[in-house]
């Protein structure tokens, strides 16, 4: 399959190390396939530890000059990177849809979101202020300086192939760090295209390195190499825990955006229309393959039937089609394993007595398309209550009291995003304060923005991305006691 890109130069089948576009040492490659039809769209290098070591060395070499540059100059380059992403939005969106599957309209939305981090951190680069603290003794002064941590590594997932990279790399580069990016093997083409745009924006060789290939070998080198001072990871809790352990001996700084199991709580006093609209976006964006996607709908007795009926009606109307087909709302899932998990969760819920309100089966399009599904009266013992489904399935659980809703919502090791639909302000505050989650959408289904801190608590991770704090993850503090003055 040949992608009709306006700028074919954006499609790269080589990796970026120290300003050079290279194959793997072994010459081996990984196939990149379109999940909508299984077609081969490209082959990218299957690199391992040796290539990764050279990428880290290139980042280390580029560090002194990049760190020494004025923040304003680094910001200007990031700003150009943002502008280039917008100029090439159609090509980037087509790359995202082709390797990841989401509808083109969503892919364009992702490019805007991805670019927003480049713009935001271009601005924040100039605001890395230090501090002067009133001295504790006569004759001294106390200063706090901020400095880039050094070389960072970014390991990113396939569900947001552009945004998960810029959310990490933009604050890193803004802070004066250089980095090595390891994209998911399902979606390396978007990452490589971003590498092209980073070069065109004027990032010096070695500041942005993109290594594709064997995750275990690359991750092993990135976590063991002493020159890497910071790892930022987005992906599963299982791999996050493994990488944390691998980073422990070298005492590396880490940011971890891991799995979620988001509750979506609907109270009796919620506005039904608004709750359904928020639910549709919180659940079905990216075909349910989002770590902040609503996984468990907790619905109060009084509104349960009306909400279930409306949600099922809206869900049944969703257009399932390849992402490049105009009007597509639900694209294919990423791979066969993803569909198998969705099927397993649906089957398990039905076997335990849940009722099907719509969907519940693979879609007639075949491949990895799954019909958007609403399940009613799901028992709490169902696997779908405990595990992230990562697919287009909305399971509805019933509750009676506010306390019960909060307890159910918190009954998970995860704590990324939660959603609450209600009207009463007292209730909203009580529930928000009771929820053990890093982000809460109140009467809102789409909460991601570069201006707010994204991240989770409990098994959902460590640290925050975006917002003013996002750059702190790439900065060290140095306290200076100036004596004898």
Residues at the contact surface with ligand ADP, assessed by CB under 6 A: 155-158, 182, 184-185, 215-216, 219, 235-236, 239, 242-243
- Which CB, 184 or 299, lies closer to ligand ADP? 184
CA 71 to chain centre: 26
Closest CB to ligand ADP among 165 and 320? 165
Check residue 454 and report its DSSP letter: B
Q: Which of 119, 199, 221, 257 is catalytic?
A: 257
H or E element that contains 275? helix 272-284
At its nearest, how many Å lie between ligand ADP and the CB of residue 296?
19
Residue 110: active-site member: no
The CB-nearest residue to ligand ADP is 219
State the Cα–Cα distance between residues 368 and 382, nearest whole angstrom: 23
Q: Give strand ranges (E) for 47-150.
A: 131-133, 141-148
**Residue with Cβ nearer ligand ADP (156 or 295):** 156
* CA distances (Å), origin 385, targets 271, 299, 351, 400, 408: 25, 14, 14, 17, 10
Q: How far is the CB of 359 from ligand ADP (least distance, A)?
A: 23
What is 17-68 written as a DSSP string? ETTEEE--TT--EEEEE-TTT--EEEEEE-B-HHHHHHHHHHHHHHHHHHHH
**Which positions ≥6 away from 50 have C-beta within 8 Å?**
25
**Smallest distance from the beta carbon of 237 to ligand ADP, in angstroms?**
8
Classify each residue of 33-52 as buried b or exposed e, where b means 16 or more C-beta atoms within 10 Å of its C-beta: bbbbeeeebbebbbbbbebb
Beta strand 355-358 with 373-376 is: antiparallel
Nearest to 47 by CA among 241, 218, 225: 218
How much of the chain is helix, strand and coil, in % rounded to 5? 40, 25, 35
Burial class (CB in 10 A: 0-12, 13-18, 19+), 393: buried
Residue with the two structure tokens 């976006």: 281
* Nearer of residues 374 and 416 to ligand ADP, judged by Cβ: 416
- Report the residue number, 74 or 182, with the smaller CB distance to ligand ADP: 182
Distance CA 415, CA 342 (A): 21
Q: What is the DSSP letter of 318?
A: P
Alpha-carbon distance values, 446 to 106, 290, 422, 443, 471 (Å): 12, 11, 16, 10, 23
Shortest distance, position 52 Cβ to ligand ADP, whole Å:
10
The distance of closest approach from Cβ of residue 390 to ligand ADP in the complex, given in angstroms and rounded to an integer, is: 7
Q: Is-contact 265 402, C-beta < 8 A?
A: no
Q: How many residues would you count in the chain? A: 485
**Contact (CB, 8 A) for 382 and 398:** no
The nearer residue to ligand ADP, 295 or 315, going by C-beta atoms, is: 295
Q: Which is nearer to ligand ADP, 158 or 264 (CB)?
A: 158
Measured from the CB atom, the residue of 153 and 279 that comes closer to ligand ADP is 153
Q: Taking the complex as a whole, how short is the minimal distance between the CB of residue 100 and ligand ADP, in angstroms?
A: 11
Catalytic residues: 257
């Amino acid at each position: 399959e040949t992608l009709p890109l306006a700028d074919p130069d954006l499609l790269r089948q080589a990796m970026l190390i120290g300003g050079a576009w290279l194959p793997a040492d072994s010459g081996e490659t990984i196939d990149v396939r379109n999940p909508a039809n299984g077609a081969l769209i490209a082959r990218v290098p299957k690199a391992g530890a040796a290539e990764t070591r050279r990428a880290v060395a290139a980042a280390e070499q580029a560090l002194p000059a990049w760190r020494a540059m004025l923040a304003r100059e680094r910001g200007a380059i990031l700003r150009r990177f943002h502008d280039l992403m917008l100029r090439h939005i159609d090509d980037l969106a087509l790359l995202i849809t082709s390797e990841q599957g989401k509808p083109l309209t969503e892919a364009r939305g992702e490019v805007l979101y991805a670019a927003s981090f480049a713009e935001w951190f271009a601005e924040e680069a100039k605001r890395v202020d230090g501090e002067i603290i009133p001295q504790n003794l006569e004759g001294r002064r106390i200063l706090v300086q901020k400095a880039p941590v050094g070389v960072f590594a970014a390991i990113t997932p396939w569900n947001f192939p552009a945004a998960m990279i810029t959310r990490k790399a933009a604050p890193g580069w803004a802070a004066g760090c250089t980095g090595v990016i390891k994209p998911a093997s399902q979606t390396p083409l978007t990452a490589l295209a971003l590498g092209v745009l980073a070069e065109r924006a004027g990032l010096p060789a070695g500041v942005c390195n993109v290594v594709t290939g064997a995750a275990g070998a690359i991750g092993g080198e990135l976590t063991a190499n002493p020159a890497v001072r910071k790892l930022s990871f987005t992906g599963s809790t299982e791999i996050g825990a493994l990488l944390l352990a691998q980073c422990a001996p070298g005492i590396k700084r880490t940011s971890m955006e891991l799995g979620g199991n988001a509750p979506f709580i609907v109270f009796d006093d919620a506005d039904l229309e608004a709750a359904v609209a928020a639910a549709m976006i919180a659940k079905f964006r990216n075909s349910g393959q989002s770590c902040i996607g609503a996984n468990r709908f907790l619905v109060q007795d009084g509104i349960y039937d009306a909400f279930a009926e409306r949600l099922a009606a809206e869900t049944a109307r969703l257009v399932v089609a390849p992402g490049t087909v105009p009007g597509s709302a639900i694209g294919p899932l990423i791979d066969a394993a993803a569909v198998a998990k969705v099927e397993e969760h649906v089957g398990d819920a039905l076997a335990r007595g849940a009722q099907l309100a719509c969907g519940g089966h693979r879609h007639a399009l075949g491949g990895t398309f799954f019909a958007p599904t609403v399940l009613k009266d799901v028992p709490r013992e169902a696997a779908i209550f405990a595990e992230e489904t990562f697919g287009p399935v909305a399971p509805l659980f019933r509750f009676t009291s506010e306390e019960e809703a909060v307890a159910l919502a918190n009954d998970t090791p995860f704590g990324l995003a939660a959603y609450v639909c209600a009207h009463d302000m007292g209730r909203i505050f009580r529930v928000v304060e009771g929820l053990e989650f890093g982000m809460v959408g109140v009467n809102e289904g789409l909460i991601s923005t570069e201006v707010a801190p994204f991240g989770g608590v409990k098994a959902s991770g460590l640290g925050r991305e975006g917002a003013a704090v996002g750059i702190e993850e790439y900065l060290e503090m140095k306290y200076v006691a100036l004596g004898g003055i």
